[in-house]
């Protein structure tokens, strides 16, 4: 009996040691947790120049869901970055004003955890979340609304003007900068902690044995060469390092001037198919194998792809509770929608 108990204790200690070793290995590879401590999290997501407040978040949420920020009054930020669909839209190519498909055949990336991205947009042209909020509003194939139209619409709605005063002070000028700032503030709180974060913070039982094996495979194959940091992505990386992506000719996007492409976040990746910048792969296992070939120059077996996918599914996090807002009513002076 004593021998059996000793063996059980020994095996348990060995398992604990192995788990701790995997945590250390993951951290050494550059993987970081979304902090469970609120003050630590705020240090990562807050902007000292424009601090997060409840009033700003509530206002930003309304603007995020408001289709009147588009020229047609039909498209909101949530149209392409649907918070009920993993923060994306579930289609290969973003569709915007006048049912226009993105001219470069670009897929809508998730907005969840975008506060952790070092680069915004597929070509990484800005590091700022506010710029990401401002760009699609103005882009002709997306929301197609000139800043002056957006500003006129919002200022024509008294309830919005009052909310801006509540959020930014009674002397606030409700301009395009403040409008996009409020949206960005709302997006800053769209973080999704998962069991993986608990594991990185030391809870060795937060991931199952199979999920830990998947993480080990993920690390061993070298996936953290690109998918690292808090977001497990969101940085600019060279694309087609070892081989050509098999759907590279769908659309004309080739990255920035140096061929660099923003690495998608792997958080909630099981919810955000189809994959890649042009949305051509629907199977997560197939996407893993394609990345092995394109980026690492290796063949990832079906078995190893399945293991990695098991780990990736553990990155599905807890979403903030979002209640669809009731939006303030227009007035007779509010600019009418346009569809041309």
Structure token digits, residue 251: 């659309």
In a shared domain, residues 248 and 271 = yes
**Are 79 and 99 members of one domain?**
yes
Alpha helices in the chain (DSSP H): 2-28, 38-45, 54-65, 77-80, 129-138, 147-155, 158-168, 176-188, 195-200, 209-220, 284-291, 302-313
Residue 55 tokens, joined: 């009033």
170 shares a domain with 108: yes
What lies within 8 Å, CB to CB, of 10 at 6+ separation is none
Residues of the chain short of pLDDT 50, as ranges, are none
Binding residues: 77, 80-81, 97, 223, 226-227, 291
Under a CB-based contact definition with an 8 Å cutoff, are residues 229 and 262 in contact? no
User: How far is it, in rounded angstroms, from Cα 157 to Cα 294?
Assistant: 50
Instruction: Note whether residue 336 is domain-resident.
Output: no
Helix (H, G, I), strand (E, B) or coil at 120: strand
- 143 occurs within a structural domain: yes
Give the Å distances, CA to CA, from 179 to 53, 64, 129, 184, 206: 15, 10, 13, 9, 40
Question: Does residue 35 share a domain with residue 70?
Answer: no
Same-domain pairing of 55 and 33 = no
Paired residues of 252 in beta bridges: none
Domain end (from 133, 164, 188): 188
Catalytic annotation, residues: 142
Within a domain: 205? yes
Dist CA 46 CA 53 (whole Å): 10
What was the pLDDT predicted at 107? 97
| Residue 328 maps to a domain | no
Domain shared by 142 and 273, yes or no: no
Q: What is the CATH number of the domain that holds 175?
A: 1.10.760.10
Q: Is residue 107 part of a domain?
A: yes
Binding residues for heme c: 77, 80-81, 97, 223, 226-227, 291
Nearest-5° Cα angle at 81, 109 to 37: 80
* Shared domain check, 35 and 68: no
Residues 227 and 289 in one domain: yes
Domain boundary among 188, 223, 241: 188
pLDDT at 327: 98
Tell me how many domains the chain contains: 2
Are both 241 and 257 inside the same structural domain?
yes
228 and 281 fall within a common domain:
yes
Residues 95 and 184 in one domain: yes
pTM, whole model, 2 decimals? 0.93
Instruction: Confirm whether 102 is domain-assigned.
Output: yes
Range of the domain at 278: 28-41+195-313
Residues 108 and 78 grouped into a single domain:
yes
Query: How far is it, in rounded angstroms, from Cα 187 to Cα 181?
Result: 10
- Whether 17 maps to a domain, the answer reads no
Could you tell me if 23 and 200 are in contact, meaning their C-beta atoms sit under 8 angstroms apart? yes
In a domain, 331, yes or no: no
Final residue before a domain boundary, out of 155, 172, 188: 188
């Amino acid at each position: 009996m004593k021998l059996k108990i000793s063996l059980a204790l020994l095996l348990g200690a060995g398992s604990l040691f192995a788990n701790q070793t995997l945590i250390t290995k993951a951290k050494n590879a550059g993987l970081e947790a979304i902090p469970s401590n609120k003050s630590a999290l705020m240090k990562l997501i807050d902007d000292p120049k424009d601090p997060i407040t409840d009033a700003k978040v509530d206002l930003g949420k309304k603007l995020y869901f408001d289709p009147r920020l588009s020229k047609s009054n039909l498209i909101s930020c949530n149209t392409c970055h649907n918070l009920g669909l993993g923060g994306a839209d579930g289609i290969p190519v973003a569709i915007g004003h006048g049912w226009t498909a993105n001219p470069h055949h670009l897929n809508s990336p998730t907005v969840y955890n975008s506060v952790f991205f070092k680069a915004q947009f597929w070509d990484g042209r800005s590091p700022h979340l506010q710029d990401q909020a401002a760009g699609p509003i103005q882009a002709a194939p997306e929301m197609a609304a000139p800043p002056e139209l957006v500003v006129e619409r919002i200022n024509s709605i008294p309830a919005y003007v009052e909310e801006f005063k509540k959020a930014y002070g009674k002397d606030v000028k409700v301009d395009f900068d403040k409008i996009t700032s409020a949206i960005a503030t709302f997006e800053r709180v769209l973080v999704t902690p998962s069991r993986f974060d608990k594991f990185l913070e030391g809870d060795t039982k937060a991931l199952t044995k199979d999920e830990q094996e998947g993480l080990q495979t993920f690390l061993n194959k070298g996936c953290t060469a690109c998918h690292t940091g808090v977001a497990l992505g969101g940085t600019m990386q060279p694309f087609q390092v070892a081989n050509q992506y098999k759907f590279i000719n769908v659309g004309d996007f080739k990255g920035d001037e140096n061929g660099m492409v923003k690495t998608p976040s792997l958080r909630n990746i099981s919810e955000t198919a189809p994959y890649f910048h042009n949305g051509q792969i629907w199977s997560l296992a197939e996407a893993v194998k394609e990345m092995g070939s394109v980026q690492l120059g290796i063949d990832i077996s079906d078995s190893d792809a399945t293991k990695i996918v098991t780990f990736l599914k553990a990155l599905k996090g807890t979403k903030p509770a979002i209640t669809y807002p009731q939006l303030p009513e227009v007035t007779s002076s509010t600019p009418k929608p346009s569809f041309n």
